[in-house]
Amino acid sequence: MAELSASILAADLLNLERDIGKAIHSGVKWIHLDVMDGHFVPNLTMGIPFGDAIRKKFDVNIESHMMVDNPDMYLEKYCSFSKLVTIHYEAPVQTVRVLKEIENRGSMPGISINPKTPVSSIESLLPSVKYVLVMTVEPGFSGQGLIEEAAQKIPLLSEYRMRNNLDFLIGIDGGIKRDNISHIASLGPDIIVSASAIFSGNVEENINSLRSCIKENRNGQ
Ligand code: DX5
Ligand code: ZN
């Protein structure tokens, strides 16, 4: 069954400890840290001090989603608190080299693709990654609507993985809510990232209801 990853972009930043605690208490095993630099995407968010603080306080897997032009900067730091570090295919860096460095530093290397980037662009990288994060919104903001065509890359990746005997996890990020999560789960991702659907309102209730929609799908299959 797909696991939920809680993106704290929509958490109450002045009550971050409380919100992360609630998510973990409700069984969430992954915290998704959206790192933005104001260049790769038109927004600035959180970075190293947030990751360090979460690591110190909670025993949880952190996935750092690097929406930055230079994901190779400060990798030592990001890898020190992240189980998984995901860089963007669209970032202007030597992708293979950076993925290798993430692995050498002991984190799982991940690659993310924007909604308009086809799976074919990253085929040659797939043997070198442990995670593929499919963006179903343009990166930059929480609370946008899901782009369905982008979600259709999930079954493509899943088939490619099986055919080529690879072992990367598949994640999906952006616009996932209670009313579409069952459909998203049916496409076969391993990790479903959500920010606003988890952190707007009652965190525990939201997580339980999202999780029961994922389960519903599994029972229906
Ligand atoms: C967007 C971020 C997403 C975002 C998802 O750039 O990468 O992780 O937080 O937010 P929701 O779930 O609200 O669409
Ligand atoms: Zn993200």
Pocket test for ligand 1, best of 4, 34, 44, 64 (most atoms within 8 A of CB): 34
* Contact by Cβ (8 Å): 75, 105: yes
pLDDT for 188: 98
- Tell me what pLDDT residue 219 has: 58
Give pLDDT, residue 186: 97
Which of 62, 84, 141 for mutating ligand 1's site (highest number of atoms within 8 Å of CB)? 141
Secondary structure of the chain as H, E, C letters: CCEEEEEHHHCCHHHHHHHHHHHHHCCCCEEEEEEEECCCCCCECCCHHHHHHHHHHCCCEEEEEEECCCCCCCHHHHHHHCCEEEEECCCCCCHHHHHHHHHHCCCEEEEEECCCCCHHHHHHHHHHCCEEEEECCCCCCCCCCCCHHHHCHHHHHHHHHHHCCCCCEEEEECCCCCCCHHHHHHCCCCEEEECHHHHCCCHHHHHHHHHHHHHHHHHHC
Q: How far apart are CA 46 and CA 188, in angstroms?
A: 29
Nearest ligand 1 atom to the CA of 177 is 12
**Residues that are catalytic:** 34, 173
- pLDDT, tens digit, 9 for 90 and up, residues 40-65: 999 999 999 999 999 999 999 999 99
- pLDDT attached to residue 128: 96
Of 29, 36, 23, residue with least CA distance to 67 = 36
Span 3-220 CATH architecture: Alpha-Beta Barrel (3.20)
For ligand 1, atom 10, the nearest C-alpha belongs to 142
For residue 216, the model assigns a pLDDT of 86
Cα separation, 183 vs 37, whole angstroms: 32
pTM of the model: 0.97
Distance 48 CA to ligand 2 centre (A): 15
Q: What stretches in the chain show pLDDT beneath 50?
A: none
Residue bearing the CA closest to ligand 1, atom 4: 142
4 Cα to the center of ligand 2, angstroms: 13
Ligand 1, residues at Cβ distance < 6 Å: 7, 9-10, 32, 34, 65, 67, 137, 139-144, 173-176, 193-197
